[in-house]
A and B are shown apart, each in its own frame.
Chain A
Amino acid sequence: MEKGIIALAAALAIGIPAIATGWAQSRIGSAGAGTMAEKPELAGIFIILVAIPETMVLLGFVVAYLIISG
């Protein structure tokens, strides 16, 4: 039972930030695609902006790992 709850906690710790990251990236992605259509030279900045919300899921990953490893 306790193992199951730990696993569920770890899953939530990484799952919720993953959804948040995906949502943020979808917003940035659509805005960036529009920008790139007009100014292709901004592709580099666009890639960086898309990568920024990934910090959330990484933090989630670290927390999930800490939960599982005890």
Chain B
Amino acid sequence: MIKEMLKVQIIGPRSLLDEAVREIHAAAVVHVETLPEKRLLESEFPGRFPIEREKLMEKEALEKYAERLRSFKALIPVPSSHRIVRVGFGEIHGYMAELSAFEERARELRARKDSLADELSIIIKYQKLLRGFAPIVTRLGGLRNFDITGLTLERTREDISGLLETEVSRVTEGKYSVHTREIDEHTLGVVLTYPKSYAPQVKALLSGRAVSEMRLPDEYSDMTLIEALKLMGMRSAELPGLMSGVDGELYSISTVWYGTVIGVARAIEDSLEEIGVLSYASATRFAFIIEGWVPADAYEQLASRLKGLFHDRIHLRTIDIRKEERALIPVFIKNHRLIRPFEVFLAALSTPRYGSIDPTPFVALFFPVFFGLIVADMGYGAVIFTLALYLRRRFGAEKQFLRDAATVFAVSGASAIIFGFLFGEFFGDLGERAGLLHPVLLNRIEALKTLIAVTIAIGVGHVILGVVIGIVSHARRRDLKETGAKAVYLTLIASFIALALAMAGFVPDALIPWAASVMGLSFIALSVLEGMLGPIEFMEALGNIISYVRLMAVGTASVVMALVANQMGALADNAALGVIIAALIHCLNLLLSVLSPSIQSMRLQYVEFFSKFYEGGGRLYRPFKKR
């Protein structure tokens, strides 16, 4: 439910502001609000609280620390397990000094790893060339007074190879040798060997031709080709080992310091928030004023906490909520722990408006019922229930959303088991075939007409409930026009249903003129109150009611598929094969039984139900609290 909020003012001497802020932070219930500029201008006493120079310098230092920690965290890997160290505000500087040596070491290690990785990537790039040239170069390496030049040649320009050889022969007066080798499908490697005395002529010949001399990386540029190739081979073998050594050292730093880094970062964030809150405060010459919102049921506790610590030197009081502030009241949703997991359904919507009604308790009732009504199979329900409980246990507190979703599915699975028992279904008709289970209420395949009627009746109830909640919500806010329009809307729907029932012979015919008159009058009234939108909304409500037939339609599809699985299994010659076939189809149906009913039930909540009363656009309650 949406908790009642109080607007509070905390007033005390300026000398106690820091301590007061620390206590409000620890109390973790005040949603701190800044005093509107208009109010500060209207009043001659308070103004914005001037933040002292020392505070600003401290803030700057903390921001630098936070930046340093972010960089440090990015340098080290996350250890497999770590315990977050609790760090007090006074300990931040000490910890930062202690961490600085490790930050420096981590930076060095990271730089070393980056340079090793760069070297390895360059070597890998040259590896193809290496593989092509190495055997020839090794063979020719022993020749003294000879120069070796490696060239790469595009295969499409293979014709140049002959021309090149003729030219090299001319400049070296026939004293040369050429070795060609395929490097890859696009490139040919060519190694030229010639006396050193002809080197200038050969180099001049190669520049400006459609061939490219194999360029060595910068680190190897002073070496001869053969030396470079040897060194590259050696380095490519040892580089991975060196890199994993660096990783190991970074990991050992992380194992020792990761928890501390997180702890210090949290303490810094808390400190920065406390300094940040000062800019929300206002002050007179001698006093400070902090305004904010507190849940009504936490007010007394906060008051006694401040009284106990400051002995009336700091005063907490409630103040009136101005009309223009009503839309800004933060929304604090708190539900019983059994229905709290169903708050996940609000995640896809904007925060409900303060004063409206939290739909969570209704969703907690209707979502599992609709899900169970669609799946309605003890076997499927048991699998979903078990799987959801396993996932719930697996997701810890840090994955609260997934944990809550698993809880929702566990409850829904239990609902499917109950409806499965009522409809006599266990993996389709398997329970019935074994003579263990019989429909208690009805057989879904045989009683389609009854199910259509039941689901439409559920639709009528659910939609009317939505409209009633909408009326209550508007009435609570004394929004008379909207309350009246919703009441007329409800009358119109109810009179239409009464008329339909009377015409179908379910209720006495005498009701027809009454229902028709009420319907006509409420239709006119709705058109007056809501304009053209009124009749459209009425038509939409009828569509919404029919929409609940999906509970039957999707459920029937699911049960038919389960029956098909059993029949296909029974058709197999071999019992084992039959079980496998049936199991495979049941698995597919089970997967669909999780997806489709969830989406359909969710849709009925969001589109059919919430549209009747849900009002978004609220502001979430964010108490000033430590991380």
Residues of chain A whose beta carbon lies under 8 Å from any beta carbon of chain B: 42, 44-45, 47-48, 51-52, 54-55, 58-59, 61-62, 65, 69
Contact of B603 with A48 in the complex, beta carbons under 8 Å: yes
In the complex the two chains form, what is the Cα distance from A55 to B547 in whole Å?
6
Residues A65 and B448 in contact, CB atoms below 8 Å apart: yes
Q: Does B14 interact with chain A (Cβ within 8 Å)? A: no
Tell me, yes or no, whether B589 is within 8 Å of chain A by CB. no
The residue among A47, A52, A59 with the most chain B CB atoms within 10 A of its own CB is: A47
Interface pairs (26), CB distance under 8 Å = A42-B348, A44-B347, A45-B348, A47-B602, A48-B348, A48-B599, A48-B602, A48-B603, A48-B607, A51-B599, A51-B602, A51-B607, A52-B603, A54-B600, A55-B543, A55-B546, A55-B547, A58-B546, A58-B547, A58-B550, A58-B553, A59-B546, A59-B549, A62-B546, A62-B549, A65-B448
Question: B606 interface residue, CB < 8 Å from A?
Answer: yes
Residues of B near any A CB (own CB < 8 A): 347-348, 448-449, 452, 543, 546-547, 549-550, 553, 599-600, 602-603, 606-607
B547 proximity list for chain A (CB < 8 A): 55, 58
**What's the Cα separation between A55 and B554 when bound, in Å?**
12
Q: How far is the CA of A44 from the CA of B606 in the complex (A)?
A: 10
Give the residues in chain A near B602, CB-CB below 8 Å.
47-48, 51
Residues in B whose Cβ lies below 8 Å from that of A47: 599, 602
Residues of B with C-beta under 8 A to A48 = 348, 599, 602-603, 606-607
Who on chain B is nearest to A54 by CB?
A: B550
**A62-B452, A65-B452 as given contacts; A51 in contact with B603, CB under 8 Å:** yes
With A51-B599, A52-B607, A69-B449 as known contacts, state yes or no: A58 contacts B348, CB within 8 Å: no
Query: Are the CB atoms of B546 and A51 closer together than 8 Å?
Result: no
**Are A58 and B549 CB-contacts (below 8 A) given A44-B347, A44-B348, A48-B348?**
yes
20 additional A-B residue pairs with CB within 8 Å, beyond A51-B599, A62-B546, A65-B452: A44-B347, A44-B348, A47-B602, A48-B603, A48-B607, A51-B600, A51-B602, A51-B603, A52-B607, A54-B603, A55-B543, A55-B547, A55-B550, A58-B549, A58-B553, A59-B549, A61-B549, A62-B549, A65-B449, A69-B449
Residues of B within 8 A of A42 (CB): 348
B446, chain A: closest CB distance, angstroms = 12
Residues of B within 8 A of A58 (CB): 546-547, 549-550, 553
Q: How far is the CB of A49 from chain B (nearest CB, A)?
A: 9
Nearest chain B CB to A34 CB, angstrom units:
18
Task: Output the nearest chain B residue to A52 by Cβ-Cβ distance.
Answer: B607
Query: Can you name the residue of chain B whose Cβ is closest to the Cβ of A69?
Result: B449
User: Within 8 Å CB of B603, what residues of A?
Assistant: 48, 51-52, 54
A47–B607 Cα gap in the complex (Å)?
12
Q: Name which residue of chain B comes closest to A62, CB basis.
A: B549
Q: Which residue of B lies closest to A47 (CB)?
A: B599
Task: Give Cα distance in the complex from A52 to B448, angstroms.
Answer: 23
Closest 4 pairs between A and B when the two form their complex, measured CB to CB: A44-B348, A51-B603, A55-B547, A48-B606
Instruction: Tell me how far the C-beta of B392 lies from the nearest C-beta in chain A, rounded to whole angstroms.
Output: 20
CA distance A58 to B543 in the complex (A): 10
Distance in Å: Cβ of A4 to nearest Cβ of chain B? 22
Residues of B within 8 A of A45 (CB): 348
Quote the shortest CB–CB distance from B621 to chain A (angstroms).
20
**Chain B residues within an 8 Å CB radius of A65:** 448-449, 452
Task: Tell me, rounded to whole Å, the shortest Cβ–Cβ distance linking B479 to chain A.
Answer: 27
Nearest CB of B to A22, in Å? 16
Distance of A52 Cα from B600 Cα, bound (Å): 9
A45–B349 Cα distance when bound, in Å, is 8
Q: In the bound complex, how far is the Cα of B449 from the Cα of A69, in angstroms? A: 9
A59 closest partner in B (C-beta): B546
Instruction: State in angstroms the CA–CA spacing of A2 and B433 once bound together.
Output: 37
Roughly how many angstroms separate A58 CA and B549 CA in the complex, as a whole number? 7
Q: How far is the CA of A54 from the CA of B553 in the complex (A)?
A: 11
Set of chain A residues within 8 Å of B600, measured between Cβ atoms: 51, 54
User: How far, in whole Å, are A47 and B348 apart by their CA atoms in the complex?
Assistant: 10
Contacts of B347 in A (CB 8 A): 44
Q: Given known contacts A47-B602, A48-B603, A48-B606, is B553 in contact with A61 (CB within 8 Å)? A: yes
Residue of B nearest to A68 (CB): B448
- Which chain A residues lie closer than 8 Å to B550 at the CB level? 54-55, 58
- A7 CB, nearest partner CB in chain B, Å: 17
Q: How far is the CA of A54 from the CA of B607 in the complex (A)?
A: 12
Cα(A69)–Cα(B450), bound, Å? 12
Q: When chains A and B are docked, how far (Å) is the Cα of A61 from the Cα of B452?
A: 11
- The distance from the CB of B21 to the nearest CB of chain A, in whole angstroms, is 33
Inter-chain contacts of A62 with B (CB < 8 A)? 452, 546, 549
Taking the closest CB of chain A, its distance from the CB of B340, in whole angstroms, is 18
Q: How far is the CB of A67 from chain B (nearest CB, A)?
A: 13
Q: Whose C-beta in chain A lies nearest to the C-beta of B543?
A: A55
C-alpha spacing A59/B553, complex, angstroms:
10
Closest-CB distance, B527 to chain A (whole angstroms): 25
Residues in chain A near residue B599, CB distance under 8 A? 47-48, 51
Q: What chain A residues lie within 8 Å of B448 (beta carbons)?
A: 65
Determine the chain B residues whose CB is within 8 A of the CB of A59 once the complex forms: 546, 549
Bound state CA distance, A55 and B545, in angstroms? 10
CA A62 – CA B347 in complex, angstroms? Answer: 33
Q: Specify which chain A residues have a CB less than 8 angstroms from the CB of B607 in the assembled complex.
A: 48, 51-52
| Chain A residue at smallest Cβ distance from B606 | A48
Residues in A with CB closer than 8 Å to B348 are 42, 44-45, 48
Chain B nearest CB: distance from A11 CB in Å? Answer: 16
With both beta carbons as reference points, the residue of chain A lying nearest to B449 in the complex is identified as: A69
CB distance from B58 to the nearest CB of A (A): 36
